[in-house]
Amino acid sequence: MPLQDFKIYMERCSRCSYCKWVPHMKMTERKFATICPSIAQYEFHGWSAGGRMVAGLSLLRGRIDYSDTLLDMIYQCQMDGGCDVSCKNQTDLEPLETMLELRAKCVRDGHVIRGHMPAIQSLRREDNMMQSPKAERGKWAEGLDVKDITKDRVQVLYHAGCRLSFDKELWNIARGTVSLLRDAGVDIGIMGKEEVCCGGRAYEWGYQEELARYAGRNAKAWEASGVKMVVTSCPHCYQTFNVLYDKIGMRVNVQVLHITQFLDFLIKENKLQLIKEVPMEVTYHDPCHLGRLAEPWIRWNGVEKKVMGQLIVQDPPKEFRRGANGVYDLPRDLLKSIPGLKLVEMPRIREYAWCCGAGGGVKEAYPEFALRTGLERMKEAETTGAEATVSACPWCQRNLLDVVKTMDTRMKVYDIVELVQQAL
């Protein structure tokens, strides 16, 4: 839907600023009451969902023109969707969808962020966002003797995703996942150098055509291979395959699971037994793309109109995505099933979680802002008294590891798979 189709929401935005805060009834302490990293960092209304609603409207009405400041305002935002959840606690608007379309308009109009171009060019040339040669994509699996689905028939495809495929410091997560799945007797394969990006991150940056292109390529490759299931460690890929492909009308006839969902299933089926004590107190960081952004897409074809000058009426009534139906319980269940491990929660969790800082192209174009956002999350994690922060996303892992290097802290950062492995 083009930006014009969100005009009714942009006009309805009342500048109430709910999108900057955790909803009042969910606030647990003043220090961690904000939900929007953008407004917290830049302290000007434009750097919030409400501000971007006004900017989008002004752009459409020709009241403002593109400038470097406007682009920074639009892109200094993780697209994590915290604003969307909070806004919908009091008004049913679509700030996140509006911001996505605002970015798409920027790209269509030729106004792009310079800091994004290396990753976008890499995507177009090498099929990954990591500025690495596609021929090296399967290198993380060297020596594992794992099946290749382009040659062998397998039931389950493990899709590593761009970050795990090329970030050597994180290869242990992908390699550990393959070992775990094989230990559980899963007939698993990978695509090696033939694996391509999901297209989701580029879509978030406004490059909508890339999503359609990679949706088609992935769907075709999976169909040709005959796999029954795709498992990924990356919440961005998980959200893209399950939500964004559906949103653009590309239905894939393969079940896609995040690794936490599949491990939970394998443990419940007694295929994996967690028996070793891991005596540790940890806190869990909800990745935005596994949590509030992973809520299934809801199709709605109706008519919207304004009544009494202000209110919006939908016919038939529209069901909104409010972020509550993401994957929240399974990663926690997984942690709780590890003997000796204690889970303590941060003040902001589930759909009200604070972003790690790496999303929306911020890590690539505004790395300092990404670190500042991650620092706030790690400080929040420290208040729990836990020894470690655990996440289930390689992009969170990368940013939080980078943050920890700048801190004087004893806290560690783990991917959930690393802890499951310790407990086997």
Provide the binding-site residues for ligand SF4, judged by CB under 6 A: 13-19, 35-38, 48-50, 53, 77-83, 87, 91, 93, 95, 355
Contact criterion met (CB below 8 Å) for 59 and 73: no
- The residue among 17 and 150 lying less far from ligand SF4, judged by its C-beta, is 17
Nearest-approach distance from CB 365 to ligand SF4, in angstroms: 13
Nearest-approach distance from CB 96 to ligand SF4, in angstroms: 6
End-to-end Cα distance, the chain: 48
Nearest-approach distance from CB 72 to ligand SF4, in angstroms: 13
| Cα–Cα dist 277/275, whole Å | 7
- The residue among 393 and 411 lying less far from ligand SF4, judged by its C-beta, is 393
- The residue at minimum Cβ distance from ligand SF4 is 50
- The residue among 94 and 167 lying less far from ligand SF4, judged by its C-beta, is 94
SS3 389: strand
- The residue among 331 and 359 lying less far from ligand SF4, judged by its C-beta, is 359
| Cα–Cα dist 240/42, whole Å | 29
- The residue among 51 and 394 lying less far from ligand SF4, judged by its C-beta, is 51
Nearest-approach distance from CB 180 to ligand SF4, in angstroms: 32
- The residue among 48 and 208 lying less far from ligand SF4, judged by its C-beta, is 48
Contact criterion met (CB below 8 Å) for 3 and 56: yes
| Cα–Cα dist 162/195, whole Å | 9
- What beta strand segments (E) does 160-296 contain? 188-190, 229-232, 255-258, 280-284
| Cα–Cα dist 146/175, whole Å | 10
Nearest-approach distance from CB 378 to ligand SF4, in angstroms: 18
From the number of C-beta atoms within 10 Å of its C-beta (0-12, 13-18, 19+), residue 94 rates as buried
- The residue among 77 and 174 lying less far from ligand SF4, judged by its C-beta, is 77
Distances (CA, A) of 233 to 82, 159, 171, 261, 263: 22, 7, 11, 10, 11
Nearest-approach distance from CB 323 to ligand SF4, in angstroms: 11
Nearest-approach distance from CB 408 to ligand SF4, in angstroms: 27
